[in-house]
Amino acid sequence: MHRGSELADFLRTRRARVTPEAAGLPPDARPRRVSGLRRGEVAQLAGVSAEYYTRLEQGRARNPSPEVVEALAAALRLDLSEREHLHNLLSRPGRSERRAPAGPQRVRPGVRLTLAALEQVPAFVIGRRTDVLATNRLAREVTTDFEALPARHRNLARYLLLDPEARERVVEWERAASETVATLRLDAGRHPHDRLLADLVGELMVRSPEFGTWWHDHRVLRRTHGLKHYRHPLVGDLTFHYESFPVAGEPDQTLCVYNVEPDSETARALTLLGTWTADR
């Protein structure tokens, strides 16, 4: 993925969503040929020259200072995930990073023991490219048995976008799938030379009708917490409060835990589901 074109597209889509009124600019009677802010208006808000911002958006400006990056983030009203993505796109990966292929990710034994210990709620570990690296028993029952799939198919984005069962299991499927595409886009900014990620994007672009629209929106998202809703064929609707935790010592691994309210319908359904499926 070409870093310059990614940066240009990201900046264009971000300034297109900010109106002059929202940015606090005075009324301008001139005809507007663009939605959102003009390049010169972004430059004015960020305190840089219009020429410099144009070169930056075209990928021709090198190594802007942290102060300039933060000023651009403020002008474009970027959230935390978008600020991280902007920094990623403006960073210059080293030669070794560009040449060395990413090796397979491994989940260390202690983390697997943690998953097994969380026997009353679903839990799993996500790696690069939204790869599902490890799961506990309830996670396999609530979503799908990723560990029974071929290695290249153990991927959350691939499951949500290409597996017909996901549309039945995941309540508010469109929101969940588009947010997963946004996390994949954030990952692409961190690892622009990841060939497996490029292959995954290419496959999803061809096989998923929705993927291209969401990908070209350039939305980025780092999941931290929130609600998840599933519909299980055996026990019905399930509501989870998910929390995400970076795995210490593994910068590209995240532990995701689906918590439940005590004595709730979901808690009782999970207990029942665990009993029914214990032998498996």
Provide, rounded to the nearest whole percent, the portion of the chain with pLDDT above 90.
Answer: 75
- The residue behind tokens 């599902």 is 132
Alpha-carbon distance values, 140 to 120, 196, 243 (Å): 13, 24, 18
Least confident of 65-69, 97-101, 250-254: 97-101
Answer whether residue 97 shows pLDDT above 80. Answer: no
Residue 16: its pLDDT value, please? 93
CATH class of 109-276: alpha beta
Answer whether residue 96 shows pLDDT above 50. Answer: no
Range with the largest mean pLDDT of 86-100, 158-172, 266-280: 158-172
Output the six-digit token pair for 254: 């995240």
Output the six-digit token pair for 279: 């032998």
Answer whether residue 91 shows pLDDT above 70. Answer: yes
Residue 244: its pLDDT value, please? 96
Domain 3-92 fold is: 434 Repressor (Amino-terminal Domain) (1.10.260)
Residue 92: its pLDDT value, please? 67
The Cα 226–Cα 81 span in angstroms is 15
The model's pTM? 0.89
DSSP-derived secondary structure for the chain: --HHHHHHHHHHHHHHT--HHHHTPPP--SPP-SSS--HHHHHHHHTS-HHHHHHHHTT------HHHHHHHHHHTT--HHHHHHHHHHHS---HHHHHSPPPPP---HHHHHHHHH-TTS-EEEE-GGGBEEEE-HHHHHHS--GGGS-GGG-BHHHHHHH-HHHHHHBTTHHHHHHHHHHHHHHHHHH-TT-HHHHHHHHHHHHH-TTHHHHHHTT------EEEEEEEETTTEEEEEEEEEEEPTT-TT-EEEEEE--TTSHHHHHHHHHHHHTTT-
- CATH 1.10.260.40 spans which residues of the chain? 3-92
The Cα 155–Cα 144 span in angstroms is 11
pLDDT 10s digits, 123-167? 999 999 999 999 999 999 999 999 999 998 999 999 999 999 999
Rounded to 5 degrees, φ, ψ at 203 are -65, -45
Provide, rounded to the nearest whole percent, the portion of the chain with pLDDT above 70.
Answer: 94
- The residue behind tokens 């995400």 is 244
Answer whether residue 280 shows pLDDT above 70. Answer: no
Kindly state the average pLDDT of the residues 111-120.
94
Residue 95's pLDDT band (cuts 50, 70, 90): very low
Output the six-digit token pair for 75: 């002008």
Cβ atoms of 125 and 111 within 8 Å: the answer is: yes
Answer whether residue 178 shows pLDDT above 90. Answer: yes
Cβ atoms of 186 and 87 within 8 Å: the answer is: no
DSSP-derived secondary structure for 120-150: TS-EEEE-GGGBEEEE-HHHHHHS--GGGS-
Residue 188's pLDDT band (cuts 50, 70, 90): very high
Output the six-digit token pair for 135: 């799961």
Residue 175's pLDDT band (cuts 50, 70, 90): very high
- CATH 3.30.450.180 spans which residues of the chain? 109-276
Burial letters for 154-167: b for 16+ Cβ neighbours within 10 Å, e otherwise?
bbbbbbbbeeeebe
Kindly state the average pLDDT of the residues 170-176.
96
Kindly state the average pLDDT of the residues 27-44.
86
Residue 2's pLDDT band (cuts 50, 70, 90): low
Rounded to 5 degrees, φ, ψ at 150 are -55, 150
Kindly state the average pLDDT of the residues 97-114.
78
- Check the CA dihedral 78-80-84-87 and report its sign: positive
Mean pLDDT over each residue of the chain, to the nearest integer: 90
